[in-house]
């Protein structure tokens, strides 16, 4: 029997009759039908819920990485964590570490497509507004910092090229710092002090998304991790604080010399980011004996996040496939039992003029209704779970429009696949023997 | 003879045999049945248990195929028909009545009567109308929405009769239709059969009841898979 004629001969009325009949016979064994459909319910529901949670998590991760700028490579100086640093005899000596201007000029000279670099330097010290102070950092940087780093200026403005060349004593506060120092008043136009320098506040910029994220994960482990920073023209910074920074901390003092705290390199061609990052890593490895720098390649992180997501999806897909397989086997099992149970009915129908295909269709419709109903309930639950999670656990969950549709389709397809064998078995019965069946 | 000359037989068996392989032994349920049944015949088939009555009726009903020999239904050799065609023949040209009624339990009286119509693609409205009419005809006009379990045996058998009439088939086959019924309900069923025959239907009834055989116009007795007596040919021979 071929599928086309099967469909053509099957009028809407007969479909309706088959559906009514299916409902009736499923209803006769309510508990059994419900338990059978349950396999599909949980399969479909877990697929949708896990997809939504997974999408949400990876969206958040990717968003954080994208906020760093996917064409950027970020270099930072880090204090080497080793025996050479720290210790009693080190107290009075000056610790020299980190990225140097030499590194940057080599990078600019040898790596093609390096569009802009943002040299920046941090000075860590207390920042004052009259009596209030916050342990923070002054970041010396360039006027195009906000657009390079995808940071939004929330109030006022960022400093200009002119201010940079004039070495103007101006600063732009991060949101957190502004909130700490000026809890009640408007910061713009006011003055803050760091060490002995007074700087005029001209704007407020949003917090570093990476720092904000790190803060969320582990509370206050990083030293500058608070995001308590202000941006000032790098020229101004060099004027006010020489090359050596001395920090007084509870009686003792630490002296550090760092040429460049922070550099962002932008690669003009998105396709060359990875190769450029390799070249830069090579240069830095050659120049630095100890690892006193950190290199962050947002694109690499993004790729890794995507790969993680792919693995997650494969795992998810396998779980879904297994649960649907189990559900499908459950359905097949029950349908085989149903076919045996209704052998006599099949014989009667055959005697009354039912063709084999009529019997096939009747049982297939029943299976599909069973799995379809399971699928619908599964979709409903699968939508409810992420919504509940978002509501109560404040986690981002994303329900892709295709996910419920796909899960439902798969449940129906499962029904058809696992219903085919029982249906054909029913249709293949010898009418005489079927009629004699008790 | 005269009858043969005037009308074509609706059913003709030529040397029909049915064999069953049971392990090593071959059971010959039927061997060498020759039979002509004319339109409007009212036939009872009798015989001891195991003589092959049901086997023959299953073949006549196109539910089973003979091992040897030929079966012509309305001049058509049934062995040449496909499975779908056989279904079509059963639905359209034959009506079945079983000893154990064989109603579908999930369906109501009307819905049971509608089953053969459904497979002939009769529209919803026509099918309902006809089923209700047939239910009235067998005296179940007040029981349309009852389930088989809510009916007596006699009532169930009347539903089965109504169902067998749904597509207005020329031939009706009944295997011990009154076998499970008391004499009163059995008598009611027989009355319906008489009426149907009077309307021109060909009826072939298997029975153990000699009284029932008396009512029919033709009696066939089987013994060990062979026709031992046929009132029609007997009459011819005289
Ligand atoms: N499917 C089968 N397999 C093997 N043998 C069978 C089968 N069906 C029938 N027979 C045999 O064929 C013979 C005739 O059986 P059948 O059912 O036709 O008898 P019957 O005349 O209807 O008897 P009863 O009056 O008891 O119903 C019996 O010997 C039976 O054992
Ligand atoms: Mg019998």
Query: If you write DSSP's letter for every residue of B179-203 in order, what string do you get?
Result: TTS-HHHHHHHHHHHHHHHHTT-EE
Q: Say how far apart CA A362 and CA A425 lie, in whole Å.
A: 12
pTM of the prediction?
0.72
Indicate if ligand 1 lies below 6 Å from the C-beta of B27.
yes
Cβ of B172 below 6 Å from ligand 1:
no
Q: Which CATH class is domain B2-237?
A: alpha beta
Q: Give B148 or B235, the one with higher predicted confidence.
A: B148
Residues A352, B90: C-beta atoms closer than 8 Å: yes
Alpha-carbon gap, residue A161 to A150, rounded angstroms: 18
Residues around ligand 2, an ion, CB closer than 5 A: B 54
Q: Is B53 in the pocket of ligand 1 (CB under 6 A)?
A: yes
Domain ranges within chain A, ordered by starting residue: 16-63+305-436, 79-291
Q: pLDDT tens digits, residue range A256-315? A: 667 677 788 888 888 888 889 999 999 999 988 888 888 888 888 888 888 888 888 888
The arithmetic mean of pLDDT across residues B142-150, rounded, is 94
**Is pLDDT above 80 for B197?**
yes
**ipTM computed for the complex:** 0.94
Q: How far is the CA of B20 from the centre of ligand 1 (A)?
A: 9
**What pLDDT, on a 0 to 100 scale, did the predictor assign at position A396?**
86
Q: In degrees rounded to 5, what are phi and psi of residue A13? A: -65, -45
* Separation of alpha carbons B65 and A432, rounded Å: 10
Pocket test for ligand 1, best of B20, B100, B205, B206 (most atoms within 8 A of CB): B20
Q: Once rounded to an integer, what is the mean pLDDT over residues B65-80?
A: 91
Q: Is B58 in the pocket of ligand 1 (CB under 6 A)?
A: no
- Atom 12 of ligand 1 has which residue's CA nearest to it? B29
pLDDT for A18 equals 80
Residue spans of chain A under pLDDT 70: 1-11, 13, 81-94, 101, 115-119, 213-226, 242-257, 259
* Predicted pLDDT of residue A302: 85
Whole-angstrom distance, CA of residue A412 vs CA of residue A379:
12
Lowest mean pLDDT among A313-317, B46-50, B104-108: A313-317
The predicted structure's pLDDT at residue A106: 81
B-chain residues near A432 (CB < 8 A): 58, 63-64
| pLDDT computed for residue B237 by the predictor | 46
Q: Please, is B219 exposed, middle or buried when counting C-beta atoms within 10 Å of its C-beta (0-12, 13-18, 19+)?
A: buried
Domain boundaries, chain B: 2-237
* A369/A373 Cα distance (integer angstroms): 6
End-to-end CA distance of chain B: 13
Q: What pLDDT is recorded for position A88? A: 46
């Amino acid at each position: 029997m071929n599928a086309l004629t099967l469909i053509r001969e099957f009028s809407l009325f007969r479909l309706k009759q088959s559906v009514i009949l299916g409902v009736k016979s499923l209803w006769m064994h309510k508990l059994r039908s419900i338990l059978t459909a349950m396999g599909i319910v949980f399969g479909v529901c877990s697929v949708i819920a896990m997809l939504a949670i997974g999408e949400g998590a990876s969206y958040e991760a990717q968003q954080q990485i994208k906020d760093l700028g996917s064409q950027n490579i970020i270099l930072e100086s880090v204090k080497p964590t080793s025996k050479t640093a720290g210790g009693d005899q080190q107290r009075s000596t000056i610790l020299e570490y980190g990225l140097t201007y030499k590194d940057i000029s080599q990078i600019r000279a040898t790596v093609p497509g390096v569009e802009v670099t943002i040299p920046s330097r941090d000075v860590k010290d207390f920042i004052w507004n009259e009596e209030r102070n916050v342990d923070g950092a002054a970041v010396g940087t360039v006027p195009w910092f906000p657009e390079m780093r995808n940071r939004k200026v929330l109030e006022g403005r960022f400093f200009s090229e002119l201010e940079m060349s004039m070495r103007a004593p101006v600063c732009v506060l991060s949101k957190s710092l502004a909130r700490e120092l000026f809890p009640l008043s408007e910061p713009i136009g006011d003055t803050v002090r760091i060490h002995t320098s007074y700087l005029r506040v001209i704007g407020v910029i949003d917090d570093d998304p990476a720092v904000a994220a790190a803060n969320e994960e582990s509370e206050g482990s990083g030293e500058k991790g608070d995001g308590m920073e202000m941006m000032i023209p790098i020229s101004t910074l060099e004027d006010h604080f020489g090359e050596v920074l001395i920090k007084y901390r509870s009686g003792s003092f630490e002296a550090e010399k760092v040429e460049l705290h922070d550099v962002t390199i932008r690669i003009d061609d998105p396709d060359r980011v990875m190769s450029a990052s390799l070249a830069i890593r090579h240069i830095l490895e050659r120049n630095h004996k100890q690892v006193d720098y950190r290199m962050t390649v947002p694109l690499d992180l993004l790729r890794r996040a995507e790969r993680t997501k792919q693995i997650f999806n494969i795992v998810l897909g396998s779980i879904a496939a297994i649960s649907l397989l189990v559900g499908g086997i459950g359905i097949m099992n029950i349908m085989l039992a149903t076919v045996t149970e209704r052998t006599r009915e099949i014989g009667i129908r055959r005697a009354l003029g039912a063709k084999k295909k009529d019997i096939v269709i009747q049982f297939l419709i029943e299976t599909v209704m069973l799995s379809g109903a399971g699928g619908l309930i599964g979709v409903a639950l699968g939508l409810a779970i992420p919504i509940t999670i978002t509501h109560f656990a404040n986690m981002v969950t994303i329900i892709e429009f295709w996910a419920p549709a796909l899960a439902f389709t798969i449940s129906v397809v499962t029904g058809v696949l696992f219903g085919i064998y029982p249906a054909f078995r029913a249709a293949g019965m010898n009418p005489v023997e079927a009629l004699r069946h008790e | 003879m005269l009858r043969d000359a005037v009308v074509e037989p609706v059913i003709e068996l030529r040397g029909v045999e049915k064999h069953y392989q049971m392990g090593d032994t071959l059971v010959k349920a039927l061997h060498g049945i020759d039979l002509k049944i004319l339109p409007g015949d009212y036939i009872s088939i009798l015989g001891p248990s195991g003589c092959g009555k049901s086997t023959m009726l299953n073949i006549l009903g196109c539910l089973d195929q003979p091992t040897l020999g030929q079966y012509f239904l309305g001049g058509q050799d049934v062995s040449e028909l496909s499975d779908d065609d056989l279904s079509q023949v059963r639905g359209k040209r034959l009506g079945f009545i079983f000893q154990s009624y064989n109603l579908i339990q999930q369906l109501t009286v009307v819905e049971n009567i509608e089953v053969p119509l459904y497979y002939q693609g009769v529209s919803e409205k026509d099918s309902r109308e006809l089923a209700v009419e047939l239910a009235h005809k067998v005296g179940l006009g007040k029981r349309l929405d009852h389930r088989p379990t809510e009916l007596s045996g006699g009532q169930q058998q009347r539903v089965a009769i109504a169902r067998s009439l749904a597509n207005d088939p020329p031939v009706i086959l009944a295997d011990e239709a009154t076998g499970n019924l008391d004499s009163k309900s059995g008598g009611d069923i027989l009355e319906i059969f008489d009426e149907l025959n009077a309307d021109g239907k060909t009826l072939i009834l298997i029975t153990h009841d000699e009284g029932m055989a008396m009512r029919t116009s033709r009696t066939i007795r089987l013994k060990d898979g062979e026709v031992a007596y046929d009132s029609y040919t007997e009459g011819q021979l005289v």
